[in-house]
């Protein structure tokens, strides 16, 4: 079973972030043909709970009619990302000065790849490797909107972290981990746990199961109102429930398969079987936007284009909502069925709105975009009554704008 191996948090297993990879990237510059690839990012969901397992799919496609030779994509030297958080002023603020490079250096430095005409290649990355600090206490992050951008391309994706309410939770005691301490050779036994809990968000509860055993008997941090601010184990949702969960019980066999029984607020009980070691399903329908951030002036418009993969039906339903920090009375503007966003005509101060493209085939899959609304520019006009008349003064020095050296104050 190799339980000891499974005990490593998923984030640590996937987090092969090379802090100095920005230097390696500069030593292996991409060729001019790299910009001719069409890159896109899609996420397995648009809204995540703190610490929830996430999967990001990165694709690169050659749209040309002839083959393209480019540096090998999805490698440590050519697969780096930037992570930013949306501020209350409607702009994204970088969370780190260094990029995050989660791909393992499988290919040697300088390796090339030949993309045939129309060929597309994909790679998946767990979100733990990219935004694991976005929901951790003390990181300056937490609930909000985030943008992950693929370096050397225009590909990006926006996701949201929310703070759900904790309905109920339990920790399942597993067999102790036994090993010999290398320092003294003594046998050591450490208790291990699997976590099962229910989180409630927007009038729906979600049954969640940790993806691997933990040494902690408590993994969830909640505030005084019972809202979850952090979960210290990687986990996934296994069921969506309509009624709040009152209690949860769980048992595990030697293979870590769980038998979970819960009771909801109506008194009804249900039992399911779940496996923490089974990875979540990947693939299926994926939705992405070719632009996830736009600055739009009052009364102006922008066209958004959604890409739906994994289905022959590429139709989406467009909608728009206020972003974080925007007062509830502020207008959102409108978005047409074709994805054209039209800003409100009265924008008195900068704020953000969220564009949502939801797949008509799979309503659980959608992509987010952010519009930073800007008030109209106001020209400064001096009226005759504002003019200040001063007596003529004899100049004491003469300056020309093409002279060398520092300019006098007022000529910056």
Give residue-wise pLDDT tens across range 284-308.
Answer: 788 999 899 999 999 999 999 998 8
Do the domain assignments include residue 405? no
Assess contact for 142 and 134: CB atoms under 8 A: yes
Q: Single out the residue in 245, 275, 305 at which a domain terminates.
A: 275
Does 138 score more than 60 pLDDT? no
pTM metric for this prediction? 0.76
β-pairing, 55-61 vs 366-374, is: unpaired
Which has more pLDDT, 254 or 362? 362
Which has more pLDDT, 397 or 194? 194
- Token pair 């990219």: residue: 130
Q: What is the mean pLDDT of residues 324-353?
A: 93
Segments forming the whole domain that contains residue 56: 3-160
Confidence of residue 397 (pLDDT cuts 50, 70, 90): very low
Does 12 score more than 90 pLDDT? no
Confidence of residue 401 (pLDDT cuts 50, 70, 90): very low
Give residue-wise pLDDT tens across range 376-394.
Answer: 876 545 454 444 443 443 3
Domain check: are 156 and 296 in the same one? no
CATH number for 150: 2.60.40
Which has more pLDDT, 118 or 2? 118
pLDDT of residue 157: 94
Domain check: are 108 and 152 in the same one? yes
Domain check: are 145 and 84 in the same one? yes
Which has more pLDDT, 279 or 193? 193
Domain check: are 102 and 235 in the same one? no
pLDDT of residue 37: 86
Q: What is the mean pLDDT of residues 144-167?
A: 91
pLDDT of residue 132: 58
Count how many domains the chain has. Answer: 3
CATH number for 300: 2.60.40.60
Cα–Cα distance for residue pair 224/144, rounded to 1 Å: 20
Do the domain assignments include residue 399? no
Q: Single out the residue in 117, 135, 160 at which a domain terminates.
A: 160
């Amino acid at each position: 079973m190799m339980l000891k191996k499974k005990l490593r948090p998923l984030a640590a297993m996937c987090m092969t972030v090379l802090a100095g990879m920005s230097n390696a990237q500069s030593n292996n510059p991409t060729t001019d043909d790299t910009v001719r690839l069409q890159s896109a990012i899609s996420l397995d969901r648009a809204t995540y709970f703190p610490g929830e397992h996430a999967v990001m799919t990165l694709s690169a496609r050659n749209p040309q009619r002839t083959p393209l030779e480019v540096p090998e994509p999805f490698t440590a030297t050519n697969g780096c990302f930037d992570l930013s958080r949306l501020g209350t002023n409607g702009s994204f603020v970088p969370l780190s000065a260094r990029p995050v490079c989660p791909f393992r250096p499988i290919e040697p430095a300088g390796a090339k790849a030949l993309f045939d005409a129309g060929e597309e290649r994909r790679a998946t990355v767990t979100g733990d490797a990219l935004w694991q600090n976005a929901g951790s206490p003390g990181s300056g992050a937490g609930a909000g909107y985030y943008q992950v951008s693929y370096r050397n391309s225009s590909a990006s994706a926006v996701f949201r972290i929310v703070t759900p309410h904790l309905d109920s939770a339990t920790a399942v005691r597993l067999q102790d981990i036994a090993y010999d301490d290398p320092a003294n050779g003594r046998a050591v036994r450490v208790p291990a746990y699997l976590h099962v809990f229910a989180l409630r968000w927007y009038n729906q509860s979600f049954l969640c199961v940790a993806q691997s055993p933990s040494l902690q008997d408590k993994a969830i941090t909640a505030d005084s109102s019972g809202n979850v601010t952090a979960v210290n184990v990687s986990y996934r949702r296994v069921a969506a429930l309509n009624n709040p969960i009152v209690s949860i019980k769980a048992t595990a066999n030697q293979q870590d398969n769980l038998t979970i029984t819960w009771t909801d607020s109506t008194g009804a009980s249900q039992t399911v079987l779940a496996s923490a070691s089974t990875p979540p399903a990947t693939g299926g329908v994926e939705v992405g936007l070719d632009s996830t951030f736009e600055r739009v002036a009052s009364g102006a418009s922008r066209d958004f284009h959604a890409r739906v993969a994994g289905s022959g039906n590429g139709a989406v339903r467009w909608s728009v909502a206020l972003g974080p920090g925007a007062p509830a009375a502020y207008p959102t503007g409108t978005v047409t069925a074709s994805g054209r966003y039209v800003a409100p005509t009265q924008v008195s101060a900068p704020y953000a709105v969220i564009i949502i493209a939801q797949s008509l085939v799979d309503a659980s899959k959608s992509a987010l975009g952010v519009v930073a609304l800007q008030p109209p520019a106001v020209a400064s006009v001096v009226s005759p009554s504002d003019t200040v008349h001063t007596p003529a003064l004899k100049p004491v020095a003469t300056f020309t704008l093409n002279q060398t050296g520092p300019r006098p104050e007022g000529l910056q």
